[in-house]
Chains A and B, each alone.
Chain A
Amino acid sequence: MTAPPALLLRDLRKSYKDVRAVDGLDLEVQPGECFGLLGPNGAGKTTTLEICEGLKPADSGEVTLLGLRWDRDAKALRRRIGVSLQETQFSEKLTVEETIAMFRSFYSRGETVAAVLGQVQLTEKRAARVGQLSGGQKQRLAIACALVGEPELLFLDEPTTGLDPQSRRQLWELIGGFKASGRTVIITTHYMDEAERLCDRVAVVDHGRIIALGTPRELIASLGAEQVVELTLESAAADLPGRCASIPGVLGVKQHDAVLTLRVARLHETLPRVLEALRQNGAAVAELRTHAPTLEDVFVALTGRYLRDE
């Protein structure tokens, strides 16, 4: 018999008053995977995660973790999962070591406090009060508290939001290390670069539904584009997307205020045609950038919106 999926969601639904936060979500995550839920704020990622963590009941649908269910096996589940929530503030009066030791006391088995301190690189800060830590250090403490029970399944809700680039890279290494030990990680983020870097597979979530699912490479390849061209115009001109769409080599066009985003093949041949078309239509280009497509472009192509706008 093979191991049950680390996480199995079937037609999950949850509403708050008149808002459908989760609107029929299906998902299967295999043991050992690092799985990312991507989407803008308010897409329903946190609600989905909190239902999985047993913190909120679903209105309907099926939730199975490691073959167990919250209504029957809550105690066993809490021992086997690790959780880092958005915006948990630990007691500022306690030291780093004391905080981890408190969490350690809740588990009958797990890592030693010293080992976890080493994993999250807080050994030097172990005697510091939580109130004196930087944002990145606080996040590493939160993950230390999630790791101390040696979980098989780790939930991280936006672990790097608001952190500086260096702290984000430190956290990525930490999560990469956990993944390398063969355990399952489920992470939410609205940073597409984070998902590309960390996740084996991602689901793009919008309005409580999954609108795309696959490996980052698959999702990007689904755009069929070799390059993405972003043009900032000096003034918005009428019907530019329509005109550009008919240019050979242009696979897709989106306009957002004065920014025109084109997905193109054979950049060296297509770009001159695009610039020529713009010139003929009297649209002056203020700025031009091209880059290889990312998950961000997948989200734009699927929803017509940018992640950061939300």
Chain B
Amino acid sequence: MSERRGFRPALRALILVRLREFFREPEAVFWVYIFPILLATGLGIAFRNQPPERIRIGWGEWGPPADSILRALSADSALDVVRFTDSTSSALALRNGRVALVAIPAGDGVHYRYDDTRPEAAPARLRVDNAVQRAAGRSDPVATSNEIVREKGSRYIDFLLPGLLGMNLMGSGIWGTGFAIVDARKKKLLKRLVATPMSRADYLASFPLAQLLLLGLEVGTILAFGVIAFGVPVRGSLASLTVVCVTGSLAFGAMGLMAAARPTTIEGISGLANLMMLPMWVLSGVFFSSARFPELVQPVIKALPLTAVVDSLRAIMLEGATLPQVAGKLTVLLVWMVVAFAVALKSFRWQ
């Protein structure tokens, strides 16, 4: 008769199979663990904080002599003055962005030539004009003072790391789950499994649950790397961070089940998974702030699960936010999870 076999033996066996399949696939291990670290290293180095950049401007020497103005500009530590002897070469330098502005002495004044659609042009115009006016004897009526604050958490790597974490959760949830299921369907293994007394719910649940077990390692590796190698701050609690990662992982896992519900070929699931993930790679603010997109699409962006994960992680890590402060984003994730799981269950093709 039946022996004692502990709690849900089939579910435990299926989760074990998931873990074995993952760790015996070297490519999967590379993409989940090694790749994000390489990416973070590369981008962290490329965008490391450097001393404030000087603004390069051009000085037109073909105008009437104006030595006092040129001296004032050269004396400004924030400006790097390039001299041009003719108008054509200065125009070329302006066009290809080598200088932000060209200042040309003109009679008793100065003529500025610049492209106002370039972000560096406006500060250059302001800085140069200040230097010119002060050299001519302008006195500022209000006394101002500066205090420079360079804080950890405002660097690009600090912004990037939570983004990479979110992107990884999405990749392993959607792609990892989707590929494994469609592969089993293509190999007729799925059909073989439903001919046994195996519970179909156990089979489906084994994917997100195995993902959760891998989650600690996955998030832990990337996070530890960021903290140790770049000193990325974690200002909120690890518990809040865990809650966000778990919810996000389950939501992406459910989306993976949804993507895998119908396709019978690897090409089919690749297309579908990329269709799901591409908009989020672009819109959800992994590499740059999603606030740059027009106001009109912001509600759509905010409703994407990756945006919810990445924004929550940033809020917790960089601003020390608590769970109630990211409750809205967690709700977005829960809705995705429930809807995707329901669609997957309803439309799943077992044979």
Of B5, B20, B195, the residue contacting A94 (CB under 8 A) is B20
Chain A interface main SS type = loop
CB interface residues, A 51-90, toward B, < 8 Å: 53-56, 75, 78-79, 81, 83, 85, 87-90
For residue B1, CB closer than 8 A to chain A, the reply is yes
Cα A87 to Cα B188 with chains together (Å) = 7
Q: Which of B10, B25, B191 contacts A85 (CB 8 A)?
A: B191
- Measured CA separation A35–B189 after assembly (Å): 25
> Of B2, B20, B351, which contacts A98 at CB under 8 A?
B20
Residue numbers in A under 8 Å from B24 (CB-CB): 93
**Neighbouring A residues of B14 by C-beta, 8 Å:** 102, 105
- Residues of chain B within 8 A of A75, CB atoms compared: 197
Q: Is the CB of A94 within 8 A of B192?
A: no
**A109 interface hit (Cβ, 8 Å):** yes
CB A122 to nearest CB in B, in angstroms, measures: 18
Number of inter-chain CB pairs below 8 Å: 72
CB of A126, distance to nearest CB on chain B (Å): 15
Q: Specify which chain B residues have a CB less than 8 angstroms from the CB of A90 in the assembled complex.
A: 187, 189
Q: Does A91 contact B (CB under 8 A)?
A: yes
Question: CA A102 – CA B193 in complex, angstroms?
Answer: 10
Please determine whether A78 and B197 come into contact, CB atoms closer than 8 angstroms.
yes
Q: Using an 8 Å CB-CB cutoff, how does the interface string of B14-46 with A read, 1 for contact, 0 for none?
A: 100100110011000000000000000000000
Residues of the B chain whose Cβ atoms lie less than 8 Å from the Cβ of A94: 17, 20-21
Binary flags per residue of A80-118, CB closer than 8 Å to B gives 1, else 0:
010101011111011000100111111111000000000
Would you call A149 an interface residue if the criterion is a C-beta within 8 Å of the partner chain's C-beta atoms?
A: yes
A79/B17 in contact, CB under 8 A: no
CB of B349 within 8 A of chain A? no
* B17 contacts A102, C-beta separation under 8 Å: yes
Most chain-A CB neighbours within 10 Å: which of B5, B17, B25? B17
B75 beta carbon closer than 8 Å to chain A: no
Q: How far is the CA of A149 from the CA of B194 in the complex (A)?
A: 14
Instruction: Tell me which residues across on chain A come within 8 A of B193, comparing CB atoms.
Output: 106
Q: Are B196 and A88 neighbours in the complex by a CB distance under 8 Å?
A: no
Find chain B residues with CB under 8 A from A89 CB. Answer: 187-189
Chain B nearest CB: distance from A102 CB in Å? 5
For chain A, give the interface size range: 20 to 34
Q: Are A85 and B195 in contact (CB under 8 A)?
A: yes
Instruction: Select which of A88, A91, A106 is within 8 A of B197 by beta carbon.
Output: A106
> Does A106 contact B195, Cβ atoms closer than 8 Å?
no
Residue of B whose beta carbon sits closest to that of A76: B197
| Per-position binary interface string of chain B over residues 165-179, scored 1 when its CB falls under 8 Å from any chain A CB and 0 otherwise | 000000000000000
B12: interface (CB < 8 Å): yes
* B194: chain A residues within 8 A (beta carbon): 55
The answer to whether A105 and B192 touch across the interface, beta carbons within 8 angstroms, is no
A101 to B9, CA, bound (A): 10
Check B198 for interface membership: any CB of A closer than 8 A.
yes
CB distance from A206 to the nearest CB of B (A): 25
Any A CB within 8 A of the CB of B13: yes
Contacts of A81 on B, CB cut-off 8 Å?
A: 195
Contacts of B178-222 to chain A: CB distance below 8 A? 184, 187-189, 191-198
Bound CA span A88–B192, Å = 7
Say whether B17 contacts A98, CB under 8 Å.
yes
Write out the residue numbers on chain A whose beta carbons fall within 8 Å of the beta carbon of B351.
Answer: 55-56
Return the contact of A107 from the options B17, B20, B191, B196 (Cβ within 8 A). B196
Per-position 1/0 for A187-209, Cβ under 8 A of B: 00000000000000000000000
Per-position contact with B for A30-61: 1 when CB-CB < 8 Å, else 0? 00000000000000000000000111100000
Scoring B residues 36 to 77 as 1 if CB is less than 8 Å from chain A, else 0, what string do you get? Answer: 000000000000000000000000000000000000000000
| B195 close to A93 (CB less than 8 A) | no
Query: Chain A's nearest CB lies how many Å from the CB of B296?
Result: 47
> In the complex, are the beta carbons of B192 and A83 less than 8 A apart?
yes
A89-B187, A91-B189, A93-B20 known; A103 vs B196 contact (CB < 8 Å): yes
Asked if residues B195 and A55 are in contact (CB atoms below 8 Å), the reply is: yes
Q: Which residues of A contact B10 (CB under 8 A)?
A: 105-106
Residues from chain B with a CB closer than 8 A to the CB of A56 are 351
Q: When chains A and B are docked, how far (Å) is the Cα of A54 from the Cα of B192?
A: 11
Contacts of B20 in A (CB 8 A): 93-94, 98
Q: Is the CB of A93 within 8 A of B188?
A: no
Q: A106 contacts which chain B residues (CB < 8 A)?
A: 10, 193, 196-198
* B31 CB to nearest A CB, Å: 16
Residues on B with beta carbons closer than 8 Å to the beta carbon of A109: 1-3
Most buried by B among A106, A107, A149: A106
Q: What mask results when residues 143 to 173 of chain A are scored 1 for a CB within 8 Å of chain B, else 0? A: 0010001000000000000000000000000
Decide: A105 near B195, CB < 8 A? Known: A85-B188, A89-B188: no
A89 to B189 alpha-carbon distance, docked (Å): 6
Closest to B202 in A: A106
When chains A and B are docked, how far (Å) is the Cα of A54 from the Cα of B191?
Answer: 11
Closest A residue to B13 by beta carbon equals A105
Given A91-B17, A93-B24, also A55-B12 (CB < 8 A): no
- Chain B contacts to A: CB under 8 angstroms: 1-3, 5, 9-10, 12-14, 17, 20-21, 24-25, 184, 187-189, 191-198, 351
Q: List 21 A-B contacts (CB under 8 A).
A: A53-B195, A55-B191, A56-B351, A78-B195, A81-B195, A83-B195, A85-B188, A87-B188, A89-B189, A91-B17, A93-B20, A98-B20, A102-B13, A102-B14, A102-B17, A103-B196, A105-B10, A105-B12, A106-B10, A108-B2, A109-B1
Q: Which 4 A-B pairs have the closest CB atoms?
A: A105-B13, A89-B187, A106-B198, A93-B24
